Amino acid sequence: MLPEKFDTIRRQWRSELFSTEPWIPSADPPIKPGEAGGYRVKSGGLVAYLKPTNLCPEDHPRAANEKIVSDLAFELSMSVPPMLLYRRTAPPPTEETRCCVSLILYPSVYEWEFLWNMATFPESVQQIIRTMISRYSSTLALDLLIHQTDRNNQRNGVFCTDPGNPTYGELLFLDHSNTLNFQNRWNGDAWKRMEMINIPATFRGSIDKARVIEGAKQIESLPDATIRAIIDRIPDDFMSRAHKERVAMGLIGRKSLVRPFVESSL
C-alpha cells in the first residue's frame, strides 16, 4: 500500500522534465556511489540521489536513460522511483553537468544484497520473502523491454519502508543508466535481439510468470505516441536526436517481442 502523497508527487515528476529545486548535498549518511558517481541531496522537505557525476560519453546518456525509463515505468505502474533531469551549475571540470535526481520516497532504504544469503534463513522466512517479491514480477517485463543488463547487482533493488507507518513500503528497482541504446548497441536491427536478464537467484526463484506476461501485455498496449513523447522531450544535449530516434525505434519495435520471449524462455 502506498500513501496518497506518493501518487501525487509521482504524477508531478512524470509530467515535469527538469527539476528547478535548489538541491544541496545532504548531511545524512552518504550513499556509496556506483560507477556513474553521485550523492544524496536535499531541497526543502525532499530527499533525492543526484547522478551521474562522472562524465558521460555521447553514446552513454545516463541521465536521459534514467528519465525515460522512470517515465515508462509510471505509465506501466511498475516499481521505479520518480526521476527528473537536473543541470548542475559550475561542477568541477572533470564532472558531469547533465544529471538527474532520483526521488527517495521513504525514510528507510535497504539494498537487497542481504537476500544473497537467503538460503541461510528459516524456510518460513524464505517463503514470505518470495511471496512478497513475486508481486513485482511484472518489472521483469520492463527490464526486457529496455534491455537491462545490470539487474544482478547487490545494490540496484531496494526495500523501502516507513518505520512510522508500517503499512507503507515497496520494492523499488534502480539503476537504468546502462539500458536502451547504451553504447549504440541497438544500431541496425540489433534492437530486435532479446536475451534473458541475469537476475539474482532470489528474484529468479520468486518470479511469477503469469505476472510477467501481464506486464508484457501492458507494454504491448502502451501507445507508440506516448513512448515517442517521453523520448522526444529530452533535450538534444542530454541525448542526441539520432540517439533518440534509435531509442524510439527500439522501444516501439521491442513492445511486441517481450511477451513471446517470456512465454518461450521463462
- The C-alpha atoms of residue 32 and residue 91 are separated, in whole angstroms, by 19
Residue 197: pLDDT above 80?
Answer: yes
- Grid coordinates belonging to 168: 507503507
Q: At what angle do helices 62-76 and 4-15 cross, to 10 degrees?
A: 130
For the chain, the first-to-last Cα distance in angstroms comes to: 28
Kindly report, residue by residue over 75-110, the tens digit of the pLDDT: 999 999 999 999 999 899 899 999 999 999 999 999
Provide CB contacts within 8 A for 119, sequence distance 6+.
126
Q: What is the pLDDT of residue 219?
A: 98
Q: How many CB atoms lie within 10 A of CB 42?
A: 17
Average pLDDT, the chain: 93
Q: Which residue has the higher pLDDT, 4 or 34?
A: 34
The pLDDT assigned to 1 comes to 46
Looking at the whole model, is its pTM more than 0.85? yes
* Site of grid cell 500500500: 1
Would the pLDDT of 122 be above 50? yes
Asked if residues 106 and 95 have their Cβ atoms less than 8 Å apart, the reply is no
Amino acid 167: pLDDT: 83
Cell of 100: 538527474
**Eight-state DSSP code of residue 30:** P
Please check whether residue 100 is in contact with residue 67, taking contact to mean a CB–CB distance below 8 angstroms.
yes
pLDDT-based confidence at 150, cuts 50/70/90?
Answer: confident
